[in-house]
Structures are given as C-alpha cells and as structure tokens.
Amino acid sequence: MATPLALQAAPEGVTQVDLGKAKVSMINDGVYARPLADSVVKVQPGDEVVPGIRALDAAGHTPGHTAYMIDGGKRKLLYWADTTNIAIFVRNPDWSVQFDMDAEKARETRRRIADLAIREKALVGGFHLPGSAVGELKAKGNGYEFTPLK
C-alpha cells in the first residue's frame, strides 16, 4: 500500500479501517477510528475495479467481504480471499464457525462463489487453502475438492 501506483479498493459501505493493525472489515459505524484515505476507490459487487478485475459480493464471513474475478490471461482466477476461513470448509461448505459474522450468509456465499469458479473454469486463490493456495476446484460429494497448483 506504500506505492503510489497501488489501487486501494474497499466495498461500498466500509468507511473506516486500521491498516496499521491489518484490520480491514470495518463497517459504517466501525470499531476503528482511522478514516479511509481519499485515494481508496469504493466498489460495488459487479464493478470492474480496473480492466479485467471484477468485484464479487462474498459477504458472510465478514460484512462487505469481497472476492475478485481476474480475467486477462489464458485462464481466469477467482481470488476469494477469506471465503473459506478454514480449509476444511472447501469439502464442507455448509459448516461454519464463530468467526463467521453471518453464518447462514457465509455458507450460501461459499457455495455460490465455488459454483461460479467451477462454471467459469477459473483457478481459485485465497487464504487458508493448502499448498500454493492457488489451484483448481471441482464438485465432490456434498462439497468441493481443491487441488493446489504445483
């Protein structure tokens, strides 16, 4: 975030953030006091942040959580960030934990985002995924199977 060439994007409705403590999911009446810089671009789900990068609603784990579909090479990449905040949620997307601020929405979001990745034949990347944390997703049983790229 130090480079002037970096674009900082935040979901619409997010108004405060404390980057010094790496806390990024602060909502309108947020807990943290540092206002967003004027340089932060507010995005809505469906917005193209920059050419080839589209914001996707991934709320549930946290309000305003955003995933991004990146399209510009041979294959799309769906960067889902913290959509599966525990790796086992890939195989069990209907499970939730206390860290999901809206458990029902988090479960729905995990399925919707995973199904989108499969439909689009996109690679998936994000936190809490094994190996390289970027790989392929396929439906398996009542959930999904993630195979990291080598």
CATH number at residue 144: 3.60.15.10
Are 23 and 93 found together in one domain?
Answer: no
Are 17 and 2 found together in one domain?
Answer: yes
Are 99 and 140 found together in one domain?
Answer: yes
- Note the pLDDT tens digit of each residue in 99-124: 888 889 999 999 999 999 999 999 99
pLDDT, average across residues 3-16: 53
Are 16 and 54 found together in one domain?
Answer: no
Q: Which run of H or of E encompasses 134? A: strand 134-140
| Pairing mode, strands 134-140 and 123-126 | antiparallel
Say whether pLDDT at 71 is over 90. Answer: yes
One-letter amino acid of 138: K
Are 78 and 21 found together in one domain?
Answer: no
Are 123 and 64 found together in one domain?
Answer: yes
pLDDT the model gives residue 26: 45
Work out the mean pLDDT of the chain and round it to a whole number: 79
Are 58 and 12 found together in one domain?
Answer: no
Are 29 and 70 found together in one domain?
Answer: no
pLDDT the model gives residue 12: 61
CA angle 141, 136, 139 (to 5 degrees): 15
Are 59 and 116 found together in one domain?
Answer: yes
pLDDT, average across residues 69-88: 88
pLDDT the model gives residue 40: 67
pLDDT the model gives residue 91: 86
Are 125 and 56 found together in one domain?
Answer: yes
Say whether pLDDT at 1 is over 70. Answer: no
Instruction: Give the structural domain span for 109.
Output: 44-148
Query: How many residues are there in the chain?
Result: 150
Measured between alpha carbons, how far is residue 83 from residues 3, 4, 20, 64 in Å? Answer: 27, 29, 23, 12
Confidence of residue 16 (pLDDT cuts 50, 70, 90): very low
Segment among 9-13, 30-34, 71-75 with least mean pLDDT: 30-34
Are 90 and 126 found together in one domain?
Answer: yes
Say whether pLDDT at 78 is over 50. Answer: yes
Domain count across the chain: 2
Are 48 and 34 found together in one domain?
Answer: no
